[in-house]
Every structure is written in structure tokens, then in C-alpha cells.
Amino acid sequence: MTMPDDDILAPRKFRSGPHSRSDFSTGPIIDQEGHEIRPETLEQGFREFRFEFGQGNPFGNLTREQRIARFEAIARLLDVAFILPGTNIRYGIDGLIGLIPVIGDIITTAISVWLVREARALGAPWYITARMLGNVAVDGVVGMVPFAGDAFDVMFRANMRNVRLLRRWLDKQPRM
């Protein structure tokens, strides 16, 4: 039931053509609920407050491509960020935080549920988000079992499964 490394390590191909770093942030800006925001309304609301957060606030208003990239980066961090030395077994912080009884699994499940919410904000239909929630539920429930659940977390990779579901759905959508 493990995922081939090609699916894990392959760089994301953007649907609207090859993007460089310079035009990565182009496109409509969407809020946390997935609604498009006009740039002039952003400028009106924040004229008196101006903060520089480096490349931007990761929880602020982002373009669709930025949201997808953030979704994939968090999923990789949770599921496949590290390699067990001497093997090809990949694991993420989900397996490490899950070693803390009950609380660790609650934390990682909450992050996974937030990722499903992000997929919904990106426009994923109910049947995709239902499958994603099913993956998260299986990962969370089985992950509660001490040690055996953590081994299951490493092999099941619910968040990477959810990335694949979202990618497949996005690839079937008409290009804008």
C-alpha cells in the first residue's frame, strides 16, 4: 500500500504552463474560503497598516498556485520529509509527533483536517473531500494505537494520498 517514490519526489507540474519563480504569484488572489479578492480591495483595507513578512504571510490571501504548493509542502513535511538511515523508508513529522500518546495524534489529525479544508477552498468537490476525510480518519484512529499505529502512519501516508487525490481532480479540470 505504499506509494512509489516517483509520486512522492516528482516536482509539481503547474497546469497553466511552466512557471518560473518570478511569475509564481500571478493569478487571482483567493481568501481562506476560496472566494476571489480584487486587488483594489486589499489596498483599501490596509493602507494604514503595512507589514513586511519576507515572502508573504503563509496564512494570508494567496493565489491558487501558492495554495496548492503550500498544501503539497505541508503534506510532504507530515508524511515523507525524512529518510530512515540505511533504508529507503520515508517518514515525516506525523510519525514523530504521533509517538506522543494521544496528544500527538490529535495534533497531526487536526493539521490533516485543515489540509482537507484547504482542498475544499481550492474547489475540490464533496466526494473528493469525503475520501480525503476517510484517509485522515483511518490515519487518526489507527495512529492512536501505541507504536503499531505510528508504524502504520509511516506506511499509510494519508496526506500524500490526499495530495494525489487533489492532483488527479485538478488535472481533470479545464485549464484557465
Give which of 49, 72, 57 is closest to 25, Cα–Cα: 57
Give which of 153, 118, 155 is closest to 136, Cα–Cα: 153
The 29-30 sheet, strands edge to edge: 36-37, 29-30, 62-63
Q: What 3-state DSSP class applies to 30?
A: strand
pTM over 0.75: no
**Average pLDDT taken over every residue of the chain:** 79
Please give the torsion angle defined by the CA atoms of residues 106, 108, 113 and 115, in that order, rounded to the nearest 10 degrees. Answer: 160
Give which of 101, 112, 92 is closest to 154, Cα–Cα: 92
Rounded percentage of the chain residues whose pLDDT exceeds 70: 71
What pLDDT is attached to residue 108? 92
Render pLDDT for 35-87 as a digit per residue (tens, 0 to 9): 777 766 665 555 444 555 555 555 567 788 888 899 999 999 999 999 989 99
In angstroms, the CA 105 to CA 107 distance is 5
